């Protein structure tokens, strides 16, 4: 039986090492207390109270816990510092988790062999074959091409929402699965067939009518007026059409006034205002040819299909688009914290969702 267990040790190290650190602190506190309370040879025969030793041990343990462990007794718990308090990189439980769990339970075949994003795989271990699209010891999704012939489905996360602040940078981050998405888009055996709030479902040998379009091309500049500016990118055309029930096709044309500075990485993300789970990463400009590779003078046309969440109530919704800093700690939330400086969301169209 093939399970995620080939990477279990590395994964536990990434996901749960904070608990290892905390238990180490507590253990060291107890050891230090025992060492401090050991009598010398000269006083070993003196009578002493076990209650005093116990009280001293409890006091020292409490002090170490307050100073070193992420609890409400620690001043840093309330400071808002990354990695402390209720920061999501510590506890990792978000409202999005419930949506993704429902998506996996209702729209992913229960027995099919698959490869999944790191924290999505925790919902899928009760099956015979589960791989990761990227293992914790990999700098990129290096093993994925060799694993794809063994699976029927793949589930990378375009809004990877686990971020761990490190002294020399960060672990995880929004673009953690981007390389896996690029690999799957370039594999002719797989097609993107479904999605939910950034989680993408690729299927092997999918029927053509299920495949969601994702394409990007450079086109001539026809001098079209600017609809909205996003830093160095000018939006010159935007169109969203309904092509099937709860399935939309979006086309965006961007004129590049100047290339992004070295090291800067941004991604366009659209959403249906007021609809939970209806965030759509512009996959072509993220995984086929990322925006940080666009050059000054380019006119980039990206076309992509999206699926509206099935629990969306009928009605009219505003389609809005914004640009977000891929390397920001809160990039996966796609809100004002990670939005490109000096920009705001732009309302592209009103979308009618029918029953």
Is the pLDDT higher at 51 or at 290? 290
| Banded model confidence at residue 83, pLDDT cuts 50, 70, 90 | low
Phi, psi at residue 174, to the nearest 5°? -50, -40
pLDDT of 5 higher than 60: no
Q: Write the CB contacts of 102 (distance below 8 Å, at least 6 apart in sequence).
A: none
Calpha distance 320→45 (Å, rounded): 78
Domain assignments of the chain as residue spans, ordered by start: 11-89, 92-204, 214-353
| Banded model confidence at residue 9, pLDDT cuts 50, 70, 90 | very low
Is the pLDDT higher at 352 or at 71? 352
pLDDT attached to residue 160 = 95
pLDDT of 222 higher than 80: yes
Is the pLDDT higher at 128 or at 265? 265
Is the pLDDT higher at 45 or at 341? 341
Is the pLDDT higher at 213 or at 30? 213
pLDDT of 353 higher than 50: yes
Is the pLDDT higher at 323 or at 87? 323
In the chain, which ranges are E strands?
A: 114-116, 130-132, 153-155, 163-166, 169-172, 190-196, 199-204, 214-218, 228-230, 233-244, 247-256, 266-272, 279-281, 299-307, 315-325, 346-353
| Banded model confidence at residue 55, pLDDT cuts 50, 70, 90 | confident
pLDDT attached to residue 37 = 55
Helix (H) or strand (E) holding 51: helix 50-68
pLDDT of 13 higher than 60: no
Is the pLDDT higher at 240 or at 89? 240
pLDDT attached to residue 165 = 74
Is the pLDDT higher at 5 or at 152? 152
| Banded model confidence at residue 282, pLDDT cuts 50, 70, 90 | very high
Q: What is the dihedral of CA 100, 17, 331, 192, to 10 degrees?
A: -40
The chain-wide mean pLDDT, for the chain, equals: 86
Summarised one tens digit per residue, pLDDT across range 167-183 is 777 778 999 999 999 99
Least confident segment among 17-21, 91-95, 307-311: 17-21
pLDDT attached to residue 34 = 54
Q: What percent of the chain has pLDDT over 90?
A: 62
Question: Which tokens hold the place of 235?
Answer: 């939006």
Choosing among 3.40.50.620, 2.40.110.10, 2.102.10.10, 2.60.40.10, the CATH entry for 214-353 is 2.60.40.10
pLDDT of 123 higher than 60: yes
pLDDT attached to residue 17 = 39
Provide DSSP, 81-127. -TTSTT-HHHH---HHHHHHHHHHHHHS-SS--EEE-TTTGGGS-SS
Identify the burial level of 57 via C-beta atoms within 10 angstroms of its C-beta, where 0-12 means exposed, 13-18 middle and 19 or more buried: middle
């Amino acid at each position: 039986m093939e399970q995620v267990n080939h990477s279990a040790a590395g994964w536990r190290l990434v996901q749960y090492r904070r608990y290892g650190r905390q238990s180490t602190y507590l253990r060291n506190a107890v050891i230090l207390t025992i060492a401090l309370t050991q009598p010398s040879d000269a006083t070993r025969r003196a009578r002493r109270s076990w209650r005093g030793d116990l009280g001293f041990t409890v006091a020292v343990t409490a002090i170490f816990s307050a100073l070193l462990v992420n609890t409400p007794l620690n001043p840093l718990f309330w400071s808002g510092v990354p990695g402390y308090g209720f920061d999501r990189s510590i506890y990792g439980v978000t409202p999005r988790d419930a949506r993704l769990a429902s998506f996996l339970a209702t729209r992913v075949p229960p027995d099919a062999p698959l490869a999944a994003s790191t924290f999505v795989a925790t919902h899928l271990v009760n099956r015979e074959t589960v791989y990761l699209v990227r293992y914790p010891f990999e700098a990129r999704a290096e093993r994925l091409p060799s694993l794809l012939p063994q699976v029927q489905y793949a589930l990378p996360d375009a809004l990877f929402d686990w971020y761990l602040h490190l002294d020399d940078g960060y672990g995880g981050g929004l673009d953690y699965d981007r390389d896996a998405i690029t690999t799957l888009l370039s594999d002719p055996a797989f097609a993107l067939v479904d999605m939910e709030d950034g989680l993408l479902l690729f299927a092997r040998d999918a029927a053509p009518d299920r495949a969601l379009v994702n394409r990007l091309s450079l086109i001539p500049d026809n001098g079209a007026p600017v609809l909205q500016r996003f830093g160095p990118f000018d939006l010159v055309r935007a169109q969203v059409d309904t092509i099937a029930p709860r399935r939309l096709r979006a086309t965006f044309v961007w004129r590049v006034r100047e290339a992004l500075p070295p090291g800067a990485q941004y991604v366009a993300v659209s959403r249906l205002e007021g609809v939970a789970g209806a965030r759509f990463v512009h996959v072509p400009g993220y995984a086929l040819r990322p925006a940080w590779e666009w050059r000054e003078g380019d006119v980039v046309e990206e076309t992509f299909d999206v699926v509206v969440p099935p629990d969306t109530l009928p009605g009219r919704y505003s389609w809005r688009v914004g640009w977000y800093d891929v390397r920001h700690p809160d990039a996966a939330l796609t809100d004002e914290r990670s939005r490109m400086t000096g920009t705001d969301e732009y309302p592209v169209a009103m979308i009618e969702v029918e029953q």
